[in-house]
Chain A
């Protein structure tokens, strides 16, 4: 069954939370595909791969109040992979920061929904991003601010491989391990594909976990399915557990998740969703949504 997104906020049973998150994420995927097709511009691959993660963060995890988007005590999220902007906008809209109707103005002139996130134009966006590699540094600054001000808000930084290619991310990783602020979490959307091709071909990162560990981070052990809300909720429990700061979780995800012929294909990092692609993809996403909603 279909449910209003706000119902997920009121749900307390973990199994139903996971099932509803999965359904809402699939609904957002379908909405994103329609918008990307209608607009002829925007990034599908990295938005689809982080869909469950951002939905879970904003609906199950983060302390935010759409009526007070600048609340100094709110949790922060820095979408360092800013090209997944449409995903952030869709999640924020369903969370209540602005009307979902606005999503139809994505990338239009005079729209509040810029091609990449802009904190001065869109309620709920905590940092403007787009140029890759900034997020972890900015998030470190936010976490240090919480420490200085004696506040307990969390700072989540969501990165993809592109951000990990940028040297600045590793400057920030060193600095975060030096200052060790609490409640700073680096969340890696490890979808293994970049704009130009597979990450292993473009810039092999090797073991991200071992790299972060060597840089002094506390990395969630094991593998974490970034498309399984129950697994994501498990990582949230790990974040709340004991252990040193800062903390990182690497989510195993699929670029372009949800559309068989787009999954794992670098072409769909940013290629416009044309009529043929849309017509072929839509039934898959519709069926996946119906399947998730039937379980509720």
Chain B
């Protein structure tokens, strides 16, 4: 059976604890959700459960980091981004402390808990903080690789994690690295950029588009900040058309980051796939994704709309 992304991350964390004595893990009373319980069971002396107190959670990690430890902080993504924003900014980012922020249950993946728990603005909130690296892995292998890379970084890194089982991507043509944009599919008609589960959805959409003769390239932008704007611009310069897909608000996330980077570099047309600036609701994960337009079908529709728009502007 496929593991949930949080389970894969939690097991990787416990495994890394065996070879990294400087690794310490903190949780805010959600270790059975974040799956940091595996680390807690295996390395109890290096695990700190601070209760439901995200602000304290992040600053305790900051204090540990000033003394040579490498903390991984686990909490629900939206509570980390909102309740500990001051601590992430003023302690971790300002001082460039090597702390990994594992924001779990991100996007709509905490589906049944509803809008209070769903994290659709975390990237927008955190992306504005200097010195913070923001990473959105696409599958379990990506989440594990992001954790290892984040632990080797010299500053704070936010890793956005899905609660559920997510589709595994095909074997990668190039390895995961912080800051690297990975191409999963070639195509000259338009560019689709995605992060998280939307990479798999974009690949599915590209297959459907290919059936009607449209060749879309699919880029995975796991590191939303710092975004490799030159690499993205080089791709988009060839197609002139970009669809950005993310399990996040269309405001301030990957779409915003891409628009900011490209607007200074190349002319392009753009469509976005994401949550349209609204609160979401409870329900089965798959149904919510469909309802709020996070789907291969929606990526396909937006891609076709972009082609039509492009042709109209050309004539």
Chain A residues with CB under 8 Å of chain B are 72, 118-120, 126-128, 130-131, 133-134, 137-146, 148-149, 167-168, 171-172, 174-175, 178-179
> In the complex, are the beta carbons of B60 and A141 less than 8 A apart?
yes
| 6 examples of A-B residue contacts, CB within 8 angstroms | A119-B95, A128-B94, A141-B63, A145-B64, A146-B67, A149-B68
Is B91 a contact partner of A144 (Cβ separation < 8 A)?
no
Apart from A145-B68, A172-B60: 9 A-B pairs, beta carbons within 8 A: A119-B66, A119-B95, A120-B94, A120-B96, A131-B86, A131-B90, A137-B55, A141-B63, A142-B64
Q: Which of B45-53, B187-195, B243-251 contacts A (4 or more CB under 8 A)?
A: B45-53
Q: Is the CB of B95 within 8 A of A137?
A: no
Tell yes or no: B69 within 8 A of A by CB: yes
Decide: A142 and B95 in contact? CB cutoff 8 A: no
Contacts A141-B61, A148-B46, A179-B48; A172 near B68 (Cβ below 8 A): no
The CA-CA distance from A149 to B91 in the complex, in Å, is 22
Q: Which residues in window 154-187 of B have CB below 8 A to A? A: none
**Complex Cα gap A131–B86 (Å):** 8
**A126 and B66 contacting across the interface, CB-CB below 8 Å:** yes
CA A285 – CA B66 in complex, angstroms? 38
Give the residues from 34 to 83 in chain B that come closer than 8 angstroms, CB to CB, to chain A. Answer: 45-46, 48, 50-51, 53, 55-56, 58-69
- Which residues of B lie under 8 Å from residue A143 when comparing CB positions? 63
Chain A residues whose CB sits within 8 angstroms of the CB of B56 once the complex forms: 137, 140, 168, 171-172, 175
Residues of A within 8 A of B61 (CB): 141
CB distance from B88 to the nearest CB of A (A): 11
Closest-by-CB residue of A relative to B26 is: A141
**CB closest residue in chain A, given B55:** A168
* Contact yes or no, B59 A145, CB < 8 A: no
Closest to B63 in A: A141
- Quick check: B96 and A145 within 8 Å, CB to CB? no
Q: Which residues on the A side are within 8 Å of B91 (C-beta)?
A: 127-128, 134, 138
Q: Which of A128, A130, A171 touches B55 (beta carbons < 8 Å)? A: A171
Q: Are B95 and A128 in contact (CB under 8 A)?
A: yes
Q: A128-B94, A134-B87, A148-B45 are in contact. Are A142 and B51 (CB under 8 A)?
A: no
Residues of chain B within 8 A of A175, CB atoms compared: 50-51, 53, 56, 60
The answer to whether B51 touches A174, judged by C-beta atoms less than 8 angstroms apart, is yes
Q: Which residues of A contact B64 (CB under 8 A)?
A: 141-142, 144-145, 148
Residues of A within 8 Å of B67, CB to CB, are: 72, 141-142, 145-146, 149
Answer whether residue B24 sits at the interface, using C-beta atoms and an 8 A cutoff: yes
Q: Which of B48, B53, B59 contacts A138 (CB 8 A)?
A: B59
CB neighbours (8 Å) of A72 from chain B are 67-68
Which residues of B sit under 8 angstroms from A174, Cβ to Cβ?
A: 51, 53
User: Among A128, A137, A146, which residue has its beta carbon within 8 angstroms of that of B60?
Assistant: A137
Give A142 to B71 CA distance when docked, in angstroms.
12
Partner of B59, one of A120, A141, A149: A141
Output the least CB separation between A80 and chain B (Å): 10
**CB pair B63 A118 closer than 8 Å:** no
The CA-CA distance from A143 to B69 in the complex, in Å, is 12
Instruction: Please give me the residue from chain B that is nearest to A167 by CB atom.
Output: B55
B62 contacts which chain A residues (CB < 8 A)? 127, 137-138, 141
CB nearest neighbor in B for A172: B56
A-B pairs, top 5 by smallest CB distance, nearest first, are A141-B63, A137-B59, A145-B67, A171-B56, A171-B53
Residues from chain B with a CB closer than 8 A to the CB of A138 are: 59-60, 62-63, 66, 91
Tell me how far the C-beta of B21 lies from the nearest C-beta in chain A, rounded to whole angstroms: 9
Q: Chain A residues near B45: list those with CB within 8 A.
A: 148
Question: What is the bound-complex CA distance between A120 and B53, given in angstroms?
Answer: 27
Question: Which one of B65, B69, B86, B95 contacts A120 once the chains associate, using CB atoms below 8 Å?
Answer: B95
A110 to chain B, nearest CB (A): 18
Give complex CA distance A167, B53 in Å.
10
A142 near B66: Cβ-Cβ < 8 Å: yes
Nearest chain A CB to B64 CB, angstrom units:
4
Residue of B nearest to A130 (CB): B90
Complex Cα spacing A143 to B63, Å: 8
Report A53 CB to chain B, min CB distance, Å. Answer: 21
**Residues of B with C-beta under 8 A to A167:** 55
Chain A residue numbers with a CB within 8 Å of B24 are 148
Beta-carbon nearest neighbor of B59 in chain A:
A137
Chain B nearest CB from A115 CB (Å) reads: 13
Residue of A nearest to B45 (CB): A148
C-alpha spacing A148/B69, complex, angstroms: 9
B59 contacts A172, C-beta separation under 8 Å: yes
**A216 → chain B, closest Cβ, in Å?**
13
Cβ contacts under 8 Å, B53 to chain A: 168, 171, 174-175
Q: 0/1 per residue, B85-111, Cβ < 8 Å to A? A: 011001100111000000000000000
Q: How far is the CA of A231 from the CA of B3 in the complex (A)?
A: 61
Kindly state the separation between the CA atoms of A140 and B71 in the bound complex, as whole angstroms: 14
Q: Are B90 and A140 in contact, CB atoms less than 8 angstroms apart?
A: no
- Which of B63, B65, B94 is within 8 Å of A137, CB to CB? B63
Select from chain A the residue with minimum beta-carbon distance to B84. A168
Residues of B within 8 A of A148 (CB): 24, 45-46, 64, 69
Complex CA distance for A211 and B42, rounded to whole angstroms: 36
B63/A144 in contact, CB under 8 A: yes
CA distance A168 to B91 in the complex (A): 13
Q: With CB as the reference atom, state the residue of chain B lying closest to A135.
A: B59
